[in-house]
Amino acid sequence: MQASAVESIAPVDPAAARTVNEVLAESQVEAVMDELEGDLVGLAPVKARIRDISALLVIDKLRRNLGLQAQAPSLHMSFTGNPGTGKTTVALRMALILHRLGYVRKGHLVAVTRDDLVGQYIGHTAPKTKEVLKKAMGGVLFIDEAYYLYRPENERDYGQEAIEILLQVMENRRDDLVVILAGYKERMDAFFKSNPGMSSRVAHHIEFPDYGPDELLSIGERMLEGMHYRFGDGAREVFTEYLGLRLKQPHFANARSVRNALDRARLRQASRLFADRERALSKHDLSTIEVADLRASRVFAATPQS
Amino acid sequence: MMTNHGKRLTQGQFSYLPDLTDAQITRQIEYALKNNYAVGIEYTDDPHPRNTYWEMFGNPMFDLEDPAGILLEVNNCRKTFPSHYVRVTAFDSTQGVESVRMSFIVNRPANEPGFGLARTEGEGRQVRYRISSYATDKPEGERY
């Protein structure tokens, strides 16, 4: 009598989709998957897992169309990987895919860190966490560096309270939101080890591999393209060499380091052009990163030039 | 009695209709969110029509995308105050409007005694009227 009109599904709807293709066409999820495939370099295991999840959701939809019982699967995930391996980017896409497949209602991503969940005094944490959860409902809650929630060295830390509320919501409101925990591999492992409840509620542990030099190069080229720049003569080779050297240095943050390197190259290009005040600058001049812009990097200075 | 049709308080939207189901409340909240209203939950046990400001149950909720979160709070409020009046309000902050656009009751006490009308004779033959809820004769918290 009450909410049944909204929740119940007609046993067999003759017009409903029967084939995988029909569901895909209906939800346009294929377009997002292709984009994912095309836009993101590498990340083969991640893409494979996302395909698996999409397949499961598509089949579930077909089952439901035929009146078979299809309990919503638990889709809470953990993304582990080094900095700059695309965890946030993939989370954004994930929200879109889940929305297209009708798993979440709105498909927005709420990205938070410890600060947004944990309060500063007694009684502050619960309302704060709940507010964030309410905002994330109908979408995806992305908790970056989730292991900071748990501070074993301080037993009065309010992080534990936030974790408890999270666990409760992850269990009871599975159809309202999807929680994605992200962070570095080792620390996430330690976090899950000390919070077994959390570990068992996260169904998908997805590891983001580091990028190889080739992948980094093509990421760099895509970034440049996106900013309407391009490599000048020989600059591509110098950038390859740069990446090779930078990889060996500490604090390498994959795609993020590539972006920073390119931003600095743009800076140097700008000051190079700025120095020559009389020259009329063509479109070509303004959009080309030259060898000199890259060579000036500190990374080359640290090693003797060949 | 004129002031208590069907023993039900009639204030705000939908108050002449049967109680809204959760699904119906969700649809209303969905509409409010679509229009970028800030949705708040308020409760009281003094339903006098001039009692404009009810107690707020938590802060008004901004930046929400989905009604599920608000429905959760509505149910929390119902659980905390099972025999109070609870209403959902939607505030429109558009410049020039800046007022409540929607307000509807989502919880009411089992027994609503209604309002009594008292007449007082003033100077000459002037009559002054006063209405008060029968429930408010009792102290706060024991009214319903």
Nearest by CB to A137, from B23, B59, B68: name it.
B68
Q: Which of A43, A30, A22 is nearest to A216 (CA)?
A: A43
For residues B31 and A74, the answer to whether their CB atoms sit within 8 Å is no
CA distance A177 to A245: 43
* Chain B contact set for A5 (CB, 8 A): 23
Q: Does A32 touch chain B (CB under 8 A)?
A: no
Nearby residues of A223 by Cβ (< 8 Å), 6 or more positions away:
A258, A259, A262
Q: What letter represents residue A54's amino acid?
A: S
Higher pLDDT, A19 or B55: B55
Closest CA in chain A for residue B24 = A3
Q: Does A237 touch chain B (CB under 8 A)?
A: no
Give the per-residue pLDDT at A251. 85
Give the per-residue pLDDT at A306. 45
Q: Does B12 touch chain A (CB under 8 A)?
A: no
Q: What letter represents residue A131's amino acid?
A: E
CA distance B140 to B80: 15
What are the per-10-residue average pLDDT scores of chain A (306 residues)?
A: 44 69 77 81 87 86 82 87 88 88 88 93 92 93 92 85 92 89 92 89 90 89 90 90 88 90 92 87 88 86 58
* Chain B contact set for A3 (CB, 8 A): 21-23
Q: What letter represents residue A125's amino acid?
A: T
DSSP helix/strand/coil, A236: helix
CA distances from A275 to A7, A67, A278, A287, B58 (A): 68, 72, 9, 16, 59
For residues A141 and B66, the answer to whether their CB atoms sit within 8 Å is no
Distance in Å, alpha carbon of A156 to nearest chain B alpha carbon? 26
For A281, half-sphere exposure in the C-beta direction (CA atoms, 13 angstrom radius) is 13
Nearby residues of A224 by Cβ (< 8 Å), 6 or more positions away:
A230, A231, A262, A289
Q: Does B65 touch chain A (CB under 8 A)?
A: yes
Distance in Å, alpha carbon of B59 to nearest chain A alpha carbon? 10
Q: Does A105 touch chain B (CB under 8 A)?
A: yes
Q: What percent of chain B has pLDDT over 70?
A: 97
Q: Which of A54, A57, A53, A55 is nearest to A72 (CA)?
A: A57
Q: Note whether B23 contacts A6, CB cutoff 8 Å.
A: yes
CA distance A130 to B59: 12
- Arithmetic mean of pLDDT, B123-133: 91
Ranges of beta strands (E only) in A101-203 are 109-112, 140-144, 178-183
Q: What letter represents residue A66's amino acid?
A: L
Closest CA in chain A for residue B73 = A134
* Chain A contact set for B72 (CB, 8 A): 134, 137, 173
Confidence of residue B2 (pLDDT cuts 50, 70, 90): low
Distance in Å, alpha carbon of A285 to nearest chain B alpha carbon? 45
For residues B29 and B88, the answer to whether their CB atoms sit within 8 Å is yes
CA distance B93 to B98: 4
For residues A186 and A165, the answer to whether their CB atoms sit within 8 Å is no
Q: Given a cut of 50, is residue B125 above it in pLDDT? A: yes
Structure tokens at A285: 């001049």
CA distance A77 to A201: 9
Nearby residues of B102 by Cβ (< 8 Å), 6 or more positions away:
B13, B28, B31, B32, B37, B88, B89, B90
For residues B57 and B43, the answer to whether their CB atoms sit within 8 Å is yes
Using CA of residue A88, residue A89, residue A94, residue A96, what is the dihedral sign?
positive
What is the end-to-end Cα distance of chain B in Å, rounded?
Answer: 19
Best of B65, B72, B74 to mutate (most A CBs within 10 Å, chain A):
B65
Strands, sheet with B38-44, edge to edge from the N-terminal-most edge strand: B55-56, B38-44, B85-92, B99-107
Structure tokens at A89: 């980017």
At B18-34, the pLDDT tens digits run: 999 999 999 999 999 99
Give the per-residue pLDDT at A6. 44
